[in-house]
Amino acid sequence: MQYKTTCDDTIFSIPYIPYRLREERLYSPFVSMNTKSENIHPFNQLLPRESKEQLLKQHAKVLWFTGLSGSGKSTIAKGVEEELHAKGFFSVVLDGDNVRTGINNNLGFSDEDRKENIRRIAEVAKLFLQNGVIVICCFVSPTQEIRNLAQTIIGENDFVEIFVNTPIEECEKRDVKGLYAKARRGEVKDFTGVNAPFEIPSKPNLEIQTQNKLVEESVTEVVDFVKQLIVFK
């Protein structure tokens, strides 16, 4: 069975999809990856990124914080956002937990779901980037493959990888969410650093070692580094 509909005086023939299959497609995390249409044409007649950057008086970049859970990524990112705001820069923070309660709430922590999680958020970050915004991303992003995926989507020149290097012993000591304790008891599967690997970045743009260091010191270190990249010239 087929239905017909019109759009801009053009008639499209739409195959009938049983409700059960429509529901499965609706909630499938990979439907957008496996289903491509010849009728999709991106709209490119928009103001260029340069015009947005000129208006905001800044150069957009994606600051990609990677590190173990509890390493301090989100805490440092929050401080960086506040410091940049005080200096007149417009930025937005995309945090792992927040994203997983919204746009990625249908994803788990399998290898495939982790890749899809990063793919989606990298595409979102790219949209902000193209509109002149400084994007601060906080994601464990545990493998080089996943980080390369994000860099490829965002673009090598705009992707600033910041490795928050905190020993796992220190992360477990902090364990503000209680996740390490649950993982050690076997209550959390595929938890990075315990029963799932974390690959140390080989060539991050910046490495922050947080042990025995105040949060403010780490924030200052990041801001001093990125300021040279985002100051409008």
Q: Which residues are designated catalytic?
A: 141
* Nearest one of 52, 96, 57 to 75, comparing CA atoms: 96
What SS3 state is found at 160? strand
* Nearest one of 152, 161, 229 to 201, comparing CA atoms: 161
* Nearest one of 223, 233, 232, 225 to 86, comparing CA atoms: 223
| 130: CB partners within 8 A, 6+ apart | 49, 52, 60
Q: For residues 209 and 140, what is the distance between their CA atoms, to the nearest angstrom?
A: 16
